[in-house]
Amino acid sequence: MDLNVLNLDPVKRLLRSYPRIVVIKAALQVLRSGRQINTENIEKAINDIMNNEKDDEEEGRD
């Protein structure tokens, strides 16, 4: 039963690889943009979030 839930729910699957707050923030961004909640869209949003945070840290060092 648990395996079926992971196959159907991309958020639960991604929680195994990424911090909870990042996955939730990415899922909310996908919803706000009107795109479908799926693994691909959430991972793209996660990458955007991670890149933005990395850029912000680098700007703070200057």
pLDDT tens digits, 2-61: 556 556 789 999 999 999 999 999 999 999 999 999 999 999 999 999 998 877 777 776
CA atoms within 13 A on the CB side of 16: 8
The pLDDT value given to residue 39: 94
The pLDDT value given to residue 58: 76
Residue 56 within a domain:
no
Overall number of domains in the chain? 1
Taking the C-alpha atoms of residue 61 and residue 25, their distance in angstroms, rounded to an integer, is 25
The pLDDT value given to residue 57: 75
Domain span holding position 41? 10-51
pTM comes to: 0.76
Residue 58 within a domain:
no
Q: 3-state DSSP call for residue 6?
A: helix
The pLDDT value given to residue 61: 63
pLDDT-derived band at 1 (thresholds 50, 70, 90) equals very low
Residue 34 within a domain:
yes
Residue 28 within a domain:
yes
